[in-house]
C-alpha cells in the first residue's frame, strides 16, 4: 500500500490545529527557541509536525561531487563532496572508485588546486560563513594543513606559477577594503609582497602565469559590464592593458585570460563589438586579435588549455544550458563535443599528459558528478565519456524527477522574458512557487535541485524560475535593463509572470508564492509590496530590505562594486530614489505571511537587513517567521542548518500555499 503523501499528513494537522498554525497576527513578543546546539535561532515559528522531517530526509541526503584537480601523474582525481556536515576534499583512484576523504574540517573547503610538481593541495576556508577566506596548503598524508595567509584578511583567486614556487592571490590584507594582488613564495610566506595595488574599489584578481614566471595576467573587475585584462611584469610591477577600456566599458569575463603555449599570445573572452562574450586570441607582439567562434551567439563561460598547450576546450552558455567544444589552439578550429548529457558543464581540467579532459556534469535530474572524456590523436578528436563519481540521491527514484520546460512570456512593455517551468504530473490546477535568482546579474540555469524536486514531488507544486531583465546570459543590453533607476522594471516582470500563470489551465493563479535569496530576497519582498493581493506569501533568504542601509553596511571590500549596480547612496537624489523603492519603506503594504532566513555572519547582506524588515512587519501585526543561523553567512553551508531551512520552508508552503480556501489578509 503506498504511503500517504506529506501534503495529506499536513492537511490532517491543519484540521486539528489550523487556527493556531494559520493565525495571521504574530504576538507582540514571539516565542524564540534554538536548534542545532544553539546555533539556529527560531522566532515566531511553530514546531515541526511529526513525520515532516522523515518524509523530506531522502531529499536532504542527496550528495554531489565537483572536480577539484588531477593528481600529479593523472592516476587519480580530487573532488569535493560531503559525507558529513560540509563539503571536504576526497581522492578517487578509478572510475566508480571509492571516495577517500582527505580533509576533515568543520567548515566547508573550496578553491582546491594541486601545487604544480607535487601532490600538495591548496584550498580556501573561512569561519562561520564570514567569507574572510584563508588559504591553506596540505601535503600528502598530512593530518593538518599549513595556513599561508595572515588569518584576518579576505583572500582568493589564487594561482600557482608553473614551477609551483610562487603564489599570486587577491587579498584585502593592506587595509581591509581594497582587493589587491599579492605575490608569495610558498616556502617563505613572510616574504609576501604587494604586486598590484588596487587604485579604487574594484576587484583585482590573478588569472594565469607565463611559463617562465616573468609575467602575470590579471583581471580588474569593476562591474558585470566593465572589466579589464592586464599583463603585469613580476620584476617591475609594470602593467599593460590588453583588453577593456575605462572610457568605453566592455566585459572581459567568463575566460579570465590564459597564456598560449609559447607565451606570445593570450586567450580571453570579451563582449567588445558584440552582445555576447566571445572567445578571442591576442598576439601580444603584433596586437593582432582573432575572434574564435564568431558565429556562436552565446556567452563563452569556460576555457581550459592542456599543460603542453596542444589542446584546448571551451563551453558556451546556450540559453542556460552548457555546450562544450574542443579547440585546436594553434589553428583555432573547433568542434562541439557530442554525447555530453544536456545540462551544465563545469571544471574542464586536462590530465597532466593532455590525453583526458575531466568535467563536472549536472543535469535537471542528476546532481553534479565528475566525468572524464577520453581524447583522440588530434586536438579535436573525442572518445568515450566515463563517469568517475556516482553521487547518491537519498534512495529516491531519479527517473521520477521532473525536467523543466523553457518558455518565454511577454512583460509589461512587450519584452520576452525567459523562464524555466517545472510542471508536476497530473492535470492540476497546481499551486505555484516562483523562484527568483540572486545577483542581480545572475541567471537561473536548469541545474539539479533536490529542494525543487521535493516541492514538486511532495507538495504537488509547479516551480517557475524566471530570468527577469538584468539577468546574465542573454546579451549585455538585457543585462543592464534593471540598473539604477530601472530597478523596479524587473519587479514588474514578476507581475507579468503572474498574468501568464493566469492563462495556464494547469496552474492555480490563486495559490502562488515567491521564493528567493540575496537579491532574489529583495525581489520576494518587492513582489509582496506590489502584488501582495495576488500572492499567498514569500520566503526571503538573506535578502536586501533597504538599499541605503545595505550599501552602508555591506563589507568595505565590496561596497563600491555594489554601488555600480544599484547606485551611489551618497548622492542625495539617488539616496532618495533607493529609499523610495526599498521594501522596508513600504512595509505596511506587505500583508501576506513571510518567512525570513538569515546568517548572522553575512558579509554581503548584513543581518540588520533581515532584522529591520521582521521588526517593521511585526510592528504592523503581520505574520513573520524568522530563522537566524549564528554560525552561517550568506546562505547556509552546514547540512544541519540547511535541513532545518528546507523543513520549515516546506511547512511554510503547506500552511500558506496548499490550502484552497482564500487566505485572509489583515
Residue 589 has pLDDT above 80, yes or no: yes
Superfamily of domain 153-387: TolB, C-terminal domain (2.120.10.30)
Interval 478-520: pLDDT, tens: 998 998 899 999 999 999 999 999 999 999 999 999 999 999 9
Name the residue among 584, 585, 544, 586 with its Cα closest to residue 565: 544
Q: Which residues contact 310 (CB under 8 A, 6 or more apart)?
A: 261, 329, 330, 354, 379
Give the residue, 176 or 389, on which the prediction is more confident: 389
Tell me the mean pLDDT in the region 171-182: 92
Asked if residue 189 lies in contact with residue 207, where contact means CB atoms within 8 angstroms, the answer is no
The answer, yes or no, to whether residue 2 has pLDDT greater than 60, is no
Angle between helices 487-501 and 519-531 (to 10 degrees): 60
The more confidently predicted of residues 83 and 200 is: 83
Q: Which of 254, 445, 447 is nearest to 368 (CA)?
A: 447
CA dihedral 443, 448, 452, 457 (to 10 degrees): 150
Cell of 452: 525543487
Q: How high is the pLDDT of residue 28?
A: 56
Query: What is the DSSP annotation of 270-315?
Result: E-TTSSS-EEEEEETTT--EEEESTT--SEEEEEEE-TTSS-EEEE
The predicted model scores a pTM of 0.90
Structural class in CATH, domain 6-60+395-656: alpha beta
Alpha carbons within 13 A on the beta-carbon side of 494:
31
C-alpha triplet 203, 209, 210: angle, nearest 5°: 140
622-661 CB burial, b ≥16 within 10 A, e <16:
bbbbbbbbbbbbbbbbbbbbbbbbbbbbbbbbbbbbbbee
Alpha helices in 414-532 (DSSP H): 450-454, 476-479, 487-501, 519-531
- Residue 23: pLDDT band with limits 50, 70, 90: very low
In this structure, the dihedral spanned by the alpha carbons of residues 92, 95, 96 and 98, taken in order and rounded to 10 degrees, is -20
pLDDT over 70 (residue 597):
yes
Question: By CB neighbour count within 10 A (0-12 exposed, 13-18 middle, 19+ buried), where does 361 fall?
Answer: buried
Q: pLDDT tens digits for 443-473?
A: 999 999 999 999 999 999 999 999 999 999 9
The percent of residues in the chain predicted with pLDDT above 90, rounded, is 79
Sheet strand arrangement including 146-147: 110-114, 121-125, 134-138, 146-147
Are the beta carbons of 6 and 52 closer than 8 angstroms?
A: yes
Averaged pLDDT score across all residues of the chain: 91
Averaged pLDDT, 29-42: 93
Q: Answer yes or no: is pLDDT of 20 > 70.
A: no
Q: Give 108-170 as a DSSP string.
A: --EEEEEPTTSS-EEEEE-STT----EEEEE-TT-SSPEE-S-SSS-EEEEEE-TTSSEEEEE
10 Å CB burial of residue 576 (0-12, 13-18, 19+) is: exposed
Residue, of 484 and 474, whose pLDDT is higher:
474
CB–CB of 135/124 below 8 Å? yes
Taking a C-beta distance cutoff of 8 angstroms, is the pair 266, 260 a contact? yes
Q: Are 319 and 342 spatial neighbours (Cβ–Cβ below 8 Å)?
A: no
451 alpha-carbon distance from chain centroid: 15
Cα separation of 96 and 369, whole Å?
11
- End-to-end Cα distance, the chain: 43
Residue 475: exposure state from Cβ atoms within 10 A (0-12, 13-18, ≥19): middle
HSE-CB for 542 with a 13 A CA cutoff: 22
Q: Sheet with 155-160: list strands edge to edge.
A: 155-160, 166-171, 180-185, 193-196
CA 131 to chain centre: 14
Closest of 177, 214, 223, 227 to residue 199, by C-alpha? 177
Mean pLDDT of all residues in 118-130: 94
Q: How many CA atoms lie within 13 A of 248 on its CB side?
A: 5
- 313 in Cβ contact with 304 (< 8 Å): yes
53-57, 205-209, 421-425: least confident range: 53-57
Half-sphere exposure of 180 (CA within 13 A, CB side): 20
What is the per-residue pLDDT for 5? 46
Pairing between β-strand 624-629 and β-strand 40-43 as defined by DSSP bridges: antiparallel
Determine how many CB atoms are found less than 10 A away from the CB of residue 570.
11
pLDDT in tens, 230-259: 999 999 999 999 999 888 889 987 666 899
Q: What is the pLDDT of residue 254?
A: 61
CA quadruple 452, 454, 456, 460: dihedral sign: negative
CA 357 vs CA 115, 296, 342, 370, 534: distances in Å: 19, 22, 18, 10, 49
Residue-wise pLDDT for 599-620, tens only, equals: 999 989 999 999 999 999 999 9
Residue written as grid cell 558543464? 345
Q: At residue 327, does pLDDT exceed 70?
A: yes
Name the more confident of 489 and 3: 489
What is the per-residue pLDDT for 660? 64
Cα–Cα distance list, 292 to 301, 473, 585 (Å): 13, 18, 49
Q: What is the pLDDT of residue 21?
A: 40
Question: In this structure, what C-alpha cell is assigned to residue 415?
Answer: 519584452
Residue 276: φ, ψ to 5°: -120, 155
Is residue 505 within 8 Å of 304, Cβ to Cβ? no
Q: What's the pLDDT tens digit per position in 559-578?
A: 888 888 888 899 999 999 99
C-alpha to C-alpha distance for 544 and 582, rounded to whole angstroms: 8
pLDDT tens, residue by residue, 610-658? 999 999 999 999 989 999 999 999 999 999 999 999 999 999 999 999 9
Amino acid at each position: 500500500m503506498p504511503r500517504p503523501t506529506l501534503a495529506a499528513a499536513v492537511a490532517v494537522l491543519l484540521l486539528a490545529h489550523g487556527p493556531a498554525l494559520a493565525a495571521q497576527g504574530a504576538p507582540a513578543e514571539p516565542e524564540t527557541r534554538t536548534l542545532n546546539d544553539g546555533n539556529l535561532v527560531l522566532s515566531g515559528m511553530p514546531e515541526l509536525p511529526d513525520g515532516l522531517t522523515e518524509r523530506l530526509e531522502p531529499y536532504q541526503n542527496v550528495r554531489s561531487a565537483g572536480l577539484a584537480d588531477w593528481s600529479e601523474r593523472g592516476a587519480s582525481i580530487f573532488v569535493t563532496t560531503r559525507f558529513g556536515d560540509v563539503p571536504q576534499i576526497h581522492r578517487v583512484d578509478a572510475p566508480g572508485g571509492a571516495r577517500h576523504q582527505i580533509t576533515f574540517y568543520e567548515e566547508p573547503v573550496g578553491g582546491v588546486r594541486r601545487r604544480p610538481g607535487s601532490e600538495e593541495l591548496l584550498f580556501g576556508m573561512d569561519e562561520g560563513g564570514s567569507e574572510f577566506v584563508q588559504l591553506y596548503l596540505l601535503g600528502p598524508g598530512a593530518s593538518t594543513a599549513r595556513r599561508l595567509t595572515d588569518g584576518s584578511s579576505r583572500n582568493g583567486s589564487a594561482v600557482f606559477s608553473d614551477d609551483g614556487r610562487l603564489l599570486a592571490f587577491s587579498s584585502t590584507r593592506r587595509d581591509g577594503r581594497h582587493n589587491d594582488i599579492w605575490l608569495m613564495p610558498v616556502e617563505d610566506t613572510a616574504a609576501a609582497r604587494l604586486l598590484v595595488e588596487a587604485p579604487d574599489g574594484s576587484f583585482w584578481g590573478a588569472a594565469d602565469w607565463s611559463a617562465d614566471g616573468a609575467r602575470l595576467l590579471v583581471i580588474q573587475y569593476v562591474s558585470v559590464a566593465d572589466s579589464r585584462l592586464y599583463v603585469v611584469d613580476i620584476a617591475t610591477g609594470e602593467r599593460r592593458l590588453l583588453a577593456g577600456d575605462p572610457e568605453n566599458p566592455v566585459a572581459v569575463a567568463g575566460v579570465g585570460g590564459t597564456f598560449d603555449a609559447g607565451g606570445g599570445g593570450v586567450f580571453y573572452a570579451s563582449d567588445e563589438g558584440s552582445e555576447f562574450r566571445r572567445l578571442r586570441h591576442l598576439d601580444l607582439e603584433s596586437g593582432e586579435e582573432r575572434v574564435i567562434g564568431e558565429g556562436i551567439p552565446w556567452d563563452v563561460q569556460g576555457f581550459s588549455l592542456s599543460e603542453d598547450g596542444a589542446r584546448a576546450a571551451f563551453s558556451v552558455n546556450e540559453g542556460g544550458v552548457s555546450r562544450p567544444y574542443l579547440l585546436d589552439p594553434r589553428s583555432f578550429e573547433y568542434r562541439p563535443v557530442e554525447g555530453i548529457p544536456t545540462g551544465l558543464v563545469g571544471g574542464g581540467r586536462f590530465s597532466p599528459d593532455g590525453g583526458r579532459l575531466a568535467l563536472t556534469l549536472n543535469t535537471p535530474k542528476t546532481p553534479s558528478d565528475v566525468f572524464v572524456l577520453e581524447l583522440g590523436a588530434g586536438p579535436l578528436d573525442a572518445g568515450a565519456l566515463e563517469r568517475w563519481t556516482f553521487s547518491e540521491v537519498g534512495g529516491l527514484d531519479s527517473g521520477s524527477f521532473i525536467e523543466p520546460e523553457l518558455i518565454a512570456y511577454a512583460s509589461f512593455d512587450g519584452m520576452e522574458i525567459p523562464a524555466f517551468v517545472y510542471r508536476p504530473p497530473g492535470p492540476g490546477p497546481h499551486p505555484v512557487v516562483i523562484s527568483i535568482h540572486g545577483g542581480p546579474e545572475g541567471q537561473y540555469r536548469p541545474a539539479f535541485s533536490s529542494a525543487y524536486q521535493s516541492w514538486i514531488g511532495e507538495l504537488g507544486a509547479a516551480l517557475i524560475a524566471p530570468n527577469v531583465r538584468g539577468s546574465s546570459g542573454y546579451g549585455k543590453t538585457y543585462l543592464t535593463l534593471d540598473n539604477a533607476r530601472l530597478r523596479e522594471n524587473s519587479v514588474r516582470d514578476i507581475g507579468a509572470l503572474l498574468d501568464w500563470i493566469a492563462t495556464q489551465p494547469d496552474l492555480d493563479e490563486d495559490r502562488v508564492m515567491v521564493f528567493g535569496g540575496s537579491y532574489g530576497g529583495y525581489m520576494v519582498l518587492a513582489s509582496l509590496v506590489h502584488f501582495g493581493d495576488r500572492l499567498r506569501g514569500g520566503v526571503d533568504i538573506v535578502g536586501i530590505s533597504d538599499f541605503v542601509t545595505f550599501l552602508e553596511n555591506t563589507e568595505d571590500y565590496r561596497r563600491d562594486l555594489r554601488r555600480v549596480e544599484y547606485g551611489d547612496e551618497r548622492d542625495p537624489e539617488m539616496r532618495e530614489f533607493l529609499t523610495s523603492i526599498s521594501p522596508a519603506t513600504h512595509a505596511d503594504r506587505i500583508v501576506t505571511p513571510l518567512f525570513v532566513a538569515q546568517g548572522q555572519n553575512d558579509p554581503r547582506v548584513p543581518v540588520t537587513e533581515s532584522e529591520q524588515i521582521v521588526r517593521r512587519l511585526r510592528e504592523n501585526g503581520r505574520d513573520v517567521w524568522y530563522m537566524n543561523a549564528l554560525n552561517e553567512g550568506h546562505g547556509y553551508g552546514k547540512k544541519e542548518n540547511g535541513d532545518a531551512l528546507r523543513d520549515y520552508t516546506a511547512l511554510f508552503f503547506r500552511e500558506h500555499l496548499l490550502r484552497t480556501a482564500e487566505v485572509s489578509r489583515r
